[in-house]
A and B are shown apart, each in its own frame.
Chain A
């Protein structure tokens, strides 16, 4: 197992280096420069600013400088979005709210989704099943900005249960955005668990479990659930990254100073260091989650555990 994880870590570093390289050059192709927007500067002043951030050097030199800094864990300094601030600090300060609503949304969505999917599978082709499917379809097809606005309108504006927007009331501010984010994982989990549970419940070992005298609940939770969970983990991992790292739309609607909002702005103003830093941060996150998912597979499914250990 240790060898397997070691090997995976090396692959992860290679992946990361490739992502950094691609992003770096793609970003350089973008029209405009971080200082271009400041048209009030004279050419001399502009040259000074460019020199300060190393933007005057030839591209390969800039690239190697950046990669060298990255290898030491230095993400550089924001050029214009947070003038002069360390990129690591910016990401840290912005990550908090995103992670909180993301985590809450993910937890809520996955939990309810699994519950819904289980009930639907166990009461297949009854009204319970049909309503659960309906919820899943709504969750997938309604865009999050529509859903978020609706929540805002009913629960904040009309009922006044929660603040309308802004990140000022701690947990209360996080409730509506979390629910808005929860819809997608909820719908996905419900769909996956239902399909998978129905398949698992029809398998031979479930019949054997029934022949042993196991009750309905024992069969669902002791025998079927674990086997039905495997495909869900595959989709939930990357989805968790997407949600934890912030949803631009939901953060915009609720005016949350999250990382998603900041990332999009950084692209608009061509803040190279922030774009690079955030991309690399997201990538690390995703790669680590994929590793965790692979390890989780092994915990849930012993067949995968062994083959993973051998390779």
Chain B
């Protein structure tokens, strides 16, 4: 499969009055053509910052690349000038944001907001751009698009506005679409509609999607692969089945255990104890060690490297080291692993 984007050893810090906040501490991943990669993790894990750094949307005066590169189309995005980035933004890489209620300009008719990237990146006339915009609105399922072009954002519902934002992002057929929690601010029924729409559109225009979310239910629905982020690092990455049914990192175990499920026997919902690390002074070793009941001595001292679980599955935990003691994952995780061929708890096919 063709690699469309490669993030290598990315390190990024924010310079604040309190000091240097190491928001991203060595992130590596590849994005393949046509796939959906979900990045999951709790607030402050660095998932939004990672994608915003790909778009270079972070405030220039405080955000600083410390190391690594973001390779896209043979160029390193961390090195481009803002002028050069403007040609990539909206054209080759587009983005959808979390809150559709605030991501459209309240004083501009949506028609103009839709034609803006078209007029900017493609050599077409205003009339043609308008036509394309109407088609886009139709594509995202907006009824009577001709009439609605002249309307303002406040005349649309939240779900409709997110459809408009999606239409804007798709205007120039981008190769990569970054969706930063696009359904978090929507209610559940609308969430499902937007997710369906995104899956549908992805097939139509063959774009790769980076989907940021903290909702594992959404991940299972849309993603091909999943990267789990914690404390400014990816701690586990694999296909959606590998992450859901053969997770290796204690943090992924925690995430999966804290997901409510219909067939879980225990009434109490699990919550990961403690709080995320302070990235002003990130802990030595595994950032999750202090909250993990599976932490080893070495976790406190040395950062675990990525251990290969399969061709597509890697996890950064010392538990995978050959010398590590064998630990039992939580019961709910074992239940999951029983269904996965290749996991050590596999019990054969009993679907």
Contacts and interface: CB of A to CB of B under 8 A. Distances in A.
B87 interface: yes
A207 interface: yes
Interface in A286-311: 300-303, 306
A30 interface: no
Contacts of B102: 203-205
Interface in B106-124: 106-109, 116-117, 120-121
A213 B152 contact: no
A211 B106 contact: no
B259 to A, nearest CB: 29
B117 A301 contact: no
Interface stretch (B90-98, B201-209, B213-221): B90-98
B101 to A, nearest CB: 9
Contact of A211 (B61, B89, B109, B154): B89
B168 A212 contact: yes
Nearest to A229: B107
A212 B115 CA distance: 10
A210 B88 contact: no
Given A204-B97, A214-B116, A302 B107 contact: yes
Contacts of B152: 302-303
A210 B57 contact: yes
A212 B120 contact: yes
A46 interface: no
Contacts of B168: 208, 212
B227 interface: no
Given A211-B94, A303-B154, A227 B86 contact: no
A204 B161 CA distance: 13
A208 B48 CA distance: 14
Contact of A208 (B61, B82, B121, B165): B165
A297 to B, nearest CB: 11
A215 interface: yes
B290 interface: no
A227 B107 CA distance: 7
Interface residues of B, number: 33
Nearest to B92: A213
B97 A208 contact: yes
A209 interface: yes
Contacts of B97: 204, 207-208, 211
Interface residues of A, number: 23
B43 interface: no
B244 to A, nearest CB: 31
A214 B55 CA distance: 13
B62 to A, nearest CB: 11
Given A207-B97, A303-B152, A212 B90 contact: yes
A213 B106 contact: no
B105 A215 contact: no
B104 interface: yes
B86 A223 contact: no
Contact of A213 (B99, B121, B155): B121
B103 interface: yes
A208 B104 contact: yes
A213 B105 contact: no
Nearest to B152: A302
Contacts of A210: 57, 89
Given A204-B99, A210-B57, A303 B116 contact: no
Interface in A201-240: 203-205, 207-216, 222-223, 226-227
Nearest to A211: B95
A223 B108 CA distance: 8
Contact of A300 (B83, B91, B94, B107): B107
Interface in B33-48: none
A213 B120 contact: yes
A211 B107 contact: no
B87 A213 contact: yes
Contacts of A222: 108
Contacts of B106: 205, 227, 301-303
A213 B89 contact: yes
Contact of B55 (A203, A205, A211, A226): A211
Interface centre among B90, B99, B121 (most CB of A within 10 A): B90
A214 B121 CA distance: 10
A222 B120 CA distance: 13
B102 to A, nearest CB: 4
B57 A207 contact: yes
B86 A215 contact: yes
Interface in B215-233: none
A306 B104 CA distance: 18
Interface centre among B57, B107, B116 (most CB of A within 10 A): B107
28 contacts: A125-B61, A205-B104, A207-B57, A208-B95, A208-B168, A209-B105, A210-B89, A211-B55, A211-B94, A212-B90, A212-B117, A212-B120, A213-B86, A213-B87, A213-B88, A213-B90, A213-B91, A213-B117, A213-B121, A214-B86, A214-B120, A223-B108, A226-B108, A227-B105, A300-B107, A302-B152, A302-B154, A303-B152
- Per CB-CB distance, the 5 closest pairs between chain A and chain B, nearest first, are A213-B90, A212-B90, A204-B102, A213-B89, A302-B152
